[in-house]
Amino acid sequence: MTFLPNHSGGLRHQRSGLSLFLIALLIGNCRGEPDPPPEVQEHLQSIALQHFQDMPVSKSLLPIADYDRWVGTRMQVQHDGRGHVFTVPPPPPVDTVLYDSDFPVLARQAQLTRGDIRAFRSQLLSTSQPQQLQPRPGLQQIDPATGPSSAHYCLSVPLFNADYSRALLSVHHCIPGAFRGLHYVLERRDTSWEVVYSRLYVIE
């Protein structure tokens, strides 16, 4: 008995394989940007352990955004009652830290390099940002959804330069009666992170 090849079946098999490939490609494109590299969590945990452990740290990270992109077309028109019309930027989203993507003041005062600024800007504009500070032995954390309203720190999404030797981090010191926010620039020296610049800023 002689068996002849089923050419139509082979064609169907090829089409099926092509369809699966296209579906996989579409799913991959819909996933967006990849997760942040693991170094982000590793270094952020080290910073929290070294500098922010006199109070618990919130598990949720403060989101960050570029000021110019946020303001954009959202400028609000206001009247002062004397016939004058002017525009003002809207208040920032709740608990969101807004940065100027050019970082002019930070660059000058913290002596950041152009490479540092490029790396910070790229991460600031990225949609791939961590939302949680992952647990680590020795790291005191609270869940803002269930934790007490006692004193604690809220850390922002961090920005790192290309070789993870410098970091820009904003921190809300959530202390009853003394609530404040600070920008920090830190430098890594071996396994230790040192604060080289800090500046108080207004929290809306």
Give the pLDDT of the chain (204 residues) as one tens digit per residue.
Answer: 443 444 445 544 444 444 544 444 444 444 455 677 899 999 999 999 999 999 999 999 999 999 888 776 556 666 677 777 666 666 777 789 989 878 888 889 999 999 999 999 999 999 889 999 999 999 999 987 766 678 999 999 999 999 999 999 999 998 888 888 999 999 999 889 999 999 998 765
Which SS3 state, helix, strand or coil, does residue 187 take? Answer: strand
CB 71 within 8 A of CB 104: no
How many Å apart are CA 139 and CA 200, to the nearest integer?
Answer: 25
User: Dihedral through CA 109, CA 113, CA 116, CA 118, nearest 10?
Assistant: 110
- Cβ contacts of 48 within 8 Å, gap of 6 or more: 57, 133, 139, 153, 155
Can you give the pLDDT at residue 23? 46
Can you give the pLDDT at residue 170? 96
Can you give the pLDDT at residue 120? 96
Can you give the pLDDT at residue 41? 96
Can you give the pLDDT at residue 4? 41
**Nearest-5° angle of CA 149, CA 155, CA 156?**
125
How many Å apart are CA 62 and CA 57, to the nearest integer?
Answer: 12
